[in-house]
Every structure is written in C-alpha cells, then in structure tokens.
Amino acid sequence: MALRRLAARPRAILRPVAAALALGLSCLAGGALAQNDRLTVETPRQEIRAQLRAPRSTTLAAGMAGRIDFLELRDGDRFEPGQVLVRFDCKAVQYNVAIGHALRNKASKVYENKRRLGQLGSIAALDIDVAAADLAQASAELDLAEERLSRCEIKAPFPGIAAEVPVRRYQYVNEGEPLMQILDDRELEVEMLLPSIWLLYLKDGDRFQVALDETGKTYDATLVRFSGRIDAVSQTIKAYGKIQGKNPELLAGMSGRASFPQVP
C-alpha cells in the first residue's frame, strides 16, 4: 500500500503543473495573436517631409538705373496681371524718344528727296545709298530709345502676391538690382524628396495626405509629377503634389509631413 501511494503521488503533482503550463501557453499564444492583430491595424504609414511652393514665382529686377518714381506695393499686397508695380523717373528717356522720332523723320525726308533726284539722274547712286543708311541708323536709334522707355515700367506678369519688397519709392537703384519677389499663390504645390525606391509603389495620380505644422490640419493631395532625374548619391527623387480643394489659409513655405499608404 505504501508503495502504491508513493507511485501515485508524482502523477497527482504533475496534473496541476501540466494544466498550469497549458493555460500559460494558451495565454501566450492568444497574446501573440492579439499583438499581431494590433500591428496589422496600427502599422503607421510611410511619412516624409514636405513643403509648399509656388510654381510661378520670380524676383523682379531693375531693367535700368534710375530713381523709383512709383511704388505702392508692399509685402503681402496682391496684384493683377498687367498691373504697374514699379515706374522709374524716365523724363530723359522720353526726351531721347522724341529726338529719335525727329531724326528719323528728317532722315526719311532726305532719303525720299534724294531717291526722286536719283530717278531724274541729278545725283549719284552713292548719295542715295548714304541717305538710305542714314535713315536705317535713325530708325535703329529710335527703336533703341523706345526699348529703354519700355523698361521704365514693370508690370505684373501674372496675378499673385508680393513676398518681399526691399526697395522704397524715390530710392535710386542700379540696373539689375532686385526690386521685389512675387509669386502666384493660387495653386501651391507640395514639394517632397522621396527615396527613389518608392518609385516601385508610387505613380502619377496616387493619393496621399499632408499634415502641415503651421495650420495643424491634414489635407488630401494627389501626386502630379516626379523629377526627371534621381540623385545617385542620396538615392532620392523630387516629387510634386497638389492639395485638393480651395484652402485660402495656405501659404508658400509651409511645411509638414506627407504620408503614403501605398508604401509598405
């Protein structure tokens, strides 16, 4: 009897131990499955830094040296295409244009007179050629004066907004000196630098989202084009997108993060 009790005791001890081990393995397996489910649901999208830029932007520079006679645009002011943004004091250039008209009229009359005389045989052909050359020179000098006059006014090439105006009215500037930066902010682009390997997953027309730091909002956007060249050193490529809808709060230079659900 004593021997049977001793033989049965190990089995009695092992039963609860085995049950505990089975329960622990079941919990571990269930926890692993639950964790895998959470990973499947909560896997973050691939994100990259992005910045808003204006496709049409430029720096207007002085086409001539002179004193600014008209400048009302300030930083942040809007303008329409064809609107005069800057005008120089061009009285001297206007006088040159008037002189050019007078000289061309004079040269034209001299040429016509000598041409008629040449038809009558009263003067040599060389005199007619010289008169024709004088007329051509006077016309060219008038064209040059009118071209200089056209630089007296700078008109807006497109509708937009002034981003920087470092000069002031009555200020004297040199030819080529920057006058203002302007941009068309009606259709801003999203500019991004993507890993080139993402070309395996992305194409024109794909949807993505942009979360901007300055507004605290997330916007739906569409990929519109990729750069024509991959940087071989960094293995990156520039990509451009367009935010959907009208969002007047957006400004060029805002930045944030773009997320792409297509990239694993």
Summarize pLDDT for 92-131 with one digit per residue, the tens.
Answer: 999 999 999 999 999 999 999 999 998 988 889 999 999 9
What confidence tens digit (pLDDT) does each residue in 48-99 have? 999 999 999 999 999 999 999 999 999 999 999 999 999 999 999 999 999 9
- Please count the CA atoms within 13 angstroms of the CA of 94 that sit on its side-chain side: 6
Query: Where is mean pLDDT largest: 5-9, 17-21, 29-33, 215-219?
Result: 215-219
Quick check: 191 and 255 in contact, CB under 8 A? Answer: no
177: left (phi over 0), alpha (psi -120 to 50) or beta: beta
By the 8 A CB rule, do 259 and 252 touch? no
CB 172 within 8 A of CB 56: no
Mean pLDDT of 10-28: 43
Judged against a pLDDT cut of 90, whether residue 2 lies above it is answered with no
Chain Cα centroid distance, residue 227: 13
Local confidence band at 187 (pLDDT 50, 70, 90 cut-offs): confident
Segment among 13-17, 93-97, 99-103, 251-255 with least mean pLDDT: 13-17
Alpha helices in 67-124 (DSSP H): 91-120
Q: What is the mean pLDDT of residues 203-220?
A: 96
Domains and their CATH numbers in the chain:
46-55+185-260 (2.40.30.170), 91-151 (1.10.287)
- The predicted-structure confidence for 149-172, as pLDDT tens digits, reads as follows 999 999 999 999 999 999 999 999
Q: Which of 257, 239, 258, 229 is nearest to 194 (CA)?
A: 239
Contacts of 115 (CB under 8 A, 6+ apart): 128, 131
Global confidence as pTM:
0.70
